[in-house]
Amino acid sequence: MTALPAPELRHLYRLDAELGAPVDLGNTPQGNRRIVAYKGGRAHGARFNATLLASAGADWQVLRPDGSSIADIRYTLQTDTGALLYVQSQGVRHGPHEVLARLAAGKNVDPSEYTFRTTVAIETSAPELASLNDGVFIAVGARAPGGVSYDVYVVE
């Protein structure tokens, strides 16, 4: 068999988002469920710059007993040219218990101390960005007091 090509990553955009106060649903059969609304933000990349629409995004989280969290993130970006992008990410944030405790307490923690990774899917009706509908993407996240940042990469 012929060797398969090794995948490469190309940076697509950086999203810096402001977060609302969590809505804590309490302990469900899945874990401690929280919903964290996205209040706004900006995405910057080589192909587009965009505004995070405050009324169209949140992270539906499940917090595990060990302090890690499962992310179900959905948000909408509006590019500076008016195109809309629906983004859905799923992944996990995990690390040493004491590091996750500092994050939970709202402390500023260096992202190298924990792992925050997601898979990403993007949908758009904009012809100029239609190739995003067929892309495979991953993201690296970092939590800060009052906000979150994601670097989104296309897998090539």
In the chain, domain spans: 9-155
Residue ranges in the chain whose pLDDT is less than 70: none
Give me the pLDDT at residue 55, please.
85
Both structure tokens of 4: 């398969």
Q: Give the C-alpha distances (Å, rounded to integers) separating 26 from 29, 32, 88, 94.
A: 10, 5, 24, 20
Domain 9-155 sits in CATH at 2.40.160.20
Give me the pLDDT at residue 67, please.
86
**Which of 8, 58, 54, 4 has the alpha carbon at shortest distance from 36?**
58
Give me the pLDDT at residue 111, please.
95
Give me the pLDDT at residue 94, please.
96
Whether 77 and 45 have beta carbons less than 8 Å apart is answered as no
Give me the pLDDT at residue 70, please.
96
Q: What is residue 4's three-state secondary structure?
A: coil
| Statement: the pTM of the whole predicted model exceeds 0.75 | yes
Q: What values do phi and psi take at 94, rounded to 5?
A: -145, 165
Give me the pLDDT at residue 121, please.
98
